[in-house]
Structure 1
Amino acid sequence: MQTTFRFLVVLLVFFMCVPGVPAEQAPVSVSTQECIECHAVTHPGIVADWARSRHAATTPGKAMTVTGTALKVSSRQVPEPLRDTSVGCAECHMLRGDAHADTFEHNGYDIHVVVSPDDCATCHAQERAEYADNIMARAHTNLADNAVYNDLERTILGRSHHKAGKHMVFDAPDARTRAEGCYYCHGTKLAVSGTQWRDTDYGEMEFPVIEGWPNQGVGRINLDGSHGSCTSCHTRHQFSIAMARKPYTCMECHAGPDVPAYKIYAASKHGNIFSAKSDQWRFDPVPWTVGKDFTAPTCAACHISLLVDDEGMVINRRTHKMSDRLGWRLFGLIYAHPKPRSPDTTIIRNAAGLPLPTDLDGTPAKDYLIDAETIAQRRQTMQSTCLACHGTGWVDAHFERLDNTIAETNHQVRTATRLMETAWAQGHARGLDRGGSLFDEHIERRWMNTWLFYANATRFASAMAGGGDYGVFEIGRYQLTSTLLDMQDWLETRQMIGTPPAP
């Protein structure tokens, strides 16, 4: 009785004092009650966030009764014990305990620290399935299991060593550097390495030690073996749709210069409208009505969200497979190319046997990439959103420019690659054929800049109607052509003085 009274007092204080908490609250399970009783004191921010969430305001059973496009729970078989209470601490952190390597006994309950997409699938099965077929879900593996990318990662994150007259050497990066470097966004691989005792406000308690934690990367490999992290976009513990729809969420990993999507969006006409008018928009409604809830696209409007017109007719269905509306992969590796067929890009091999989607001359590894018909279908899907605000002539001309930009930047990268291939062939740099790296010499870094930064930025500026400085002087065509001249001068200088082969 005393425990229940303390819980009700704590919960009442939160619901009365925390701004933004919904007026109605769903019933709370007994196990979640016990969680809140302690954690409202030790982790008030977590409890306050949860109290503001849809999870706290409704039950899965009630959510499943919604019909039409407003439906948010895609699973039709939510387990009976979970249907009639809010989705609280216990409903997520005690779910599928046997599947999680980090499950441990905590105050009489078996809980796990890391909630995975397979846990979220209990209520959101369709979203989970779509995300699993998404290249983001494989982001850790696609980086960690690709020898070429490993080499690039090593020369960026690894500790460097220089000896007079010798080639610069880079060690493999340590785990902590990798976790806050490339794998901050790509996701770490989690593993339980043991347990430790901690002195808490409630006495000494034993907790699992999790390697690779904390991390919210999109391709994190979780302790139940699943790939991905829903909290990359729907941040804990409010899991807000509104937050996921705002461009700041995508900015966390797409700020450039390799993928400068947010910066280009912010400088674009769409971004200008967002900056000036988004305080008048509504980011919570499902579905999201074009012209009523918002008047210019965000990242989510173009790539993810369920969009309808003012009569409720569907413009684009919701998807958590980001490539559903994308035919081309603008991020050049080293050239822009059609999207991969499979989210697992480690299976790709070009004609030279390298795990790259194109050859060094730009020829695509067609067996692993989508065909022209699929590209056209995906473009039509994307254009449905564009046509909600723009005329056909405007939209067609925009995509014609994008196609031209892809072709032109690929041509420029091919010029840079020819210069690089000459340097390798003449022994002025050590390429793969001499047991070297593609990325650890000055001329190779200049070559990298042409496709990793400048060609990419130019393509993104074109695709996102950002134009202007990002596609020209900020980090675009000017830097790309300047680097071509630098590479040519570097190569001609070494040819003239007869530089001996690189050691």
Structure 2
Amino acid sequence: MLLLTCWLLPTLTLGAVDATTIAKPNEKNTANQVEILKGFDHLSRESATCVSCHREKSAGIYQQWGSSKHFGANIGCYECHKAKAGEVDAIKHKDFIIAVIVSPKDCAGCHEREVKEFDSSHHATGGLILDSLDNVLAEVVEGAPTFQGRSPVSVSGCEGCHGSKIEVNSDGSLSASSWPNSGIGRLNPDGSKGSCAACHTRHAFSAAQARHPDTCGRCHLGPDHPQKEIYAESQHGILFSANLAQMNLNSSKWVVGEDYSAAPACATCHLSATKDLPLTHDVGSRIAWNLRAPISFRIDEKDLAKGLSVKPWLERRQDMKSVCVSCHSRNTTDNFFEQLDAFVELYNEKFAKPGSQLMKLMSAEGLLTKTEFDEELEWTWFYLWHHEGRRARHGAAMVGPDFAHWEGMYEVAHRFYIEMVPQVREVIETAKQAGKTEAAAKVQTLLDQILNSEFHRWYLGKSDRAQELMKAVTPHK
């Protein structure tokens, strides 16, 4: 049955909470307050006109909107899609000037704080993948510019999560090579970054949906960033699945320890309110490590080196701990983060830094070509840090033991010792045969230093500890 609208619907707030939880104008929100935006007294003439047609022609969209808080507050089609003549993506539709894309800049008309937080987040920069090695793979190695000058792999793959750069045709319509797209870091025609609909899918724009781990799992999964799979194997994920009915996902404020306590979702740790922290749309504001890079670093390190003022990593760590202690003891929480730091530092020192040093030296000495991914060693190194190394680090960070070990560091070690080291030796021999003896000697010296270090001496049969451990091993039958 189709929902019916009326110009004179009563004013409804965007959440059913006590008046004490409503943030007053110019008053700073605390964790236990929810900012309630006052709706309109009635649906606008423009939106009512839209509805009169689209409830028949776009019944699915109409029903989604009808179940939303926007509907209850008389926020209609026109309030979000309205545009001004002369805007790059403005089109004439019936009697109105509209834009197909509703960007964060449009959402900021009501949700200013949320958009400001999002704009300072790592999510907002997702579209910058267009300048990364991943995009070289999608555009060149895997793909070809067969679709309006773009690779279909990039359009349907990378940009589906990271966001496309929206191209507007001369008639105001949107290019098929960039739209439809709801990637988190989409580069919009109005200059804004991102898509709120990446998490709050149109046209219901549900907070409950954004809080569900499956929403994050749309992009955070797979061999190189399997956060969804790690979460599913963790005790956190198991508890969520077993107690979904107790998660109270539709709560207006959704404060852990008050509105729910059965399990944390992704949003609990990274975004949602606690008794001490307010809700944030800056997904990295509680993250202390960069676990994506070839070599992990503290999240504020590069910005501080540029002289930028950013939230210190230690403050971010304390904020994350304040989430953990909603359910765990302080001692348990502190010990966990000591374990995480030790794991990340081991990955860095044992594999990431030596591997990076070898790759940089071989490149600097002209022993690798300037073309990316045309040599087996480049693929080996990419797999080591981009796939296995990320899996290991995120496994440790998200309490996923199998990903930390078997699908993580075990694979890193195998890739390093059984593939990378022999391939480096092959590069050295090839260089010698080509008369590049000095360059070969430099790489050999570095490789010898690495393999004779305390981390790798076992590989050369020089580790007393390894020998002692092997004596105690029960042979496989």
TM-score by length of 1: 0.72
Q: Give matches, 1:181-196, under 5 Å.
A: 181-195=157-171
| Equivalent of 2:143 in 158, 165, 171 | 158
Query: Partner of 1:219 in structure 2?
Result: 185
Matched pairs, number? 400
CA distance in 1, matches of 2:3, 2:111: 30
| Equivalent of 2:126 in 135, 139, 145 | 139
Q: Over residues 62-88 of structure 1, what are the superposed CA-to-partner deviations in whole Å (9 max), with x where a residue is unaligned?
A: xxxxxxxxxxxxxxxxxxxxxxxx111
CA distance in 2, matches of 1:500, 1:9: 77
Aligned sequence identity (%)? 33
Moved more, 395-404 or 407-416: 407-416
1:429 aligns with 2:368: yes
| Equivalent of 1:303 in 270, 286, 293 | 270
Q: Over residues 403-427 of structure 1, what are the superposed CA-to-partner deviations in whole Å (9 max), with x where a residue is unaligned?
A: 1111111121123234434654676
CA distance in 1, matches of 2:174, 2:355: 50
Moved more, 379-388 or 30-39: 30-39
| Conserved 8 A contact 2:300-2:313 | no
CA distance in 2, matches of 1:223, 1:192: 8
| Equivalent of 2:414 in 479, 482, 485 | 482
CA distance in 2, matches of 1:500, 1:248: 54
Amino acid of the structure 2 residue aligned with 1:125: E
| Equivalent of 2:373 in 418, 436, 439 | 439
CA distance in 2, matches of 1:377, 1:117: 27
| Equivalent of 1:248 in 206, 209, 214 | 214
| Conserved 8 A contact 2:243-2:263 | no
| Conserved 8 A contact 1:282-1:294 | no
SS in 2 for 1:227: coil
Q: Give the direction of change, closer, same or farther, for the CA distance of 1:461–1:369 in structure 2 (3 Å limit).
A: farther
| Equivalent of 1:337 in 283, 294, 297 | 297
Q: Give matches, 1:198-213, under 5 Å.
A: 212-213=178-179
Q: Give the direction of change, closer, same or farther, for the CA distance of 1:99–1:87 in structure 2 (3 Å limit).
A: farther
SS in 2 for 1:105: strand
Moved more, 177-186 or 454-463: 177-186
Identify unmatched segments of 5+ residues in structure 1.
1-7, 14-21, 59-85, 161-171, 197-206, 308-313, 342-356, 358-364, 431-435
CA distance in 2, matches of 1:192, 1:484: 46
SS in 2 for 1:417: helix
Amino acid of the structure 2 residue aligned with 1:404: A
Query: Partner of 1:416 in structure 2?
Result: 355
Query: Partner of 1:433 in structure 2?
Result: none
1:286 aligns with 2:286: no
Q: Over residues 56-109 of structure 1, what are the superposed CA-to-partner deviations in whole Å (9 max), with x where a residue is unaligned?
A: 112xxxxxxxxxxxxxxxxxxxxxxxxxxx111111111x43474221111111
1:315 aligns with 2:308: no
Query: Partner of 1:88 in structure 2?
Result: 76
TM-score by length of 2: 0.76
Amino acid of the structure 2 residue aligned with 1:136: H
CA distance in 2, matches of 1:158, 1:173: 11
SS in 2 for 1:110: strand
Q: Give the direction of change, closer, same or farther, for the CA distance of 1:106–1:498 in structure 2 (3 Å limit).
A: closer
| Conserved 8 A contact 1:316-1:381 | yes
Q: How far 1:281 sits from its partner (Å)?
A: 1.9
Q: Which has the higher strand share?
A: 1
Query: Partner of 1:11 in structure 2?
Result: 4
Identify unmatched segments of 5+ residues in structure 2.
7-14, 17-39, 436-477
SS in 1 for 2:243: helix
CA distance in 2, matches of 1:185, 1:101: 24
| Conserved 8 A contact 1:335-1:413 | yes
Q: How far 1:449 sits from its partner (Å)?
A: 1.1
1:466 aligns with 2:400: yes
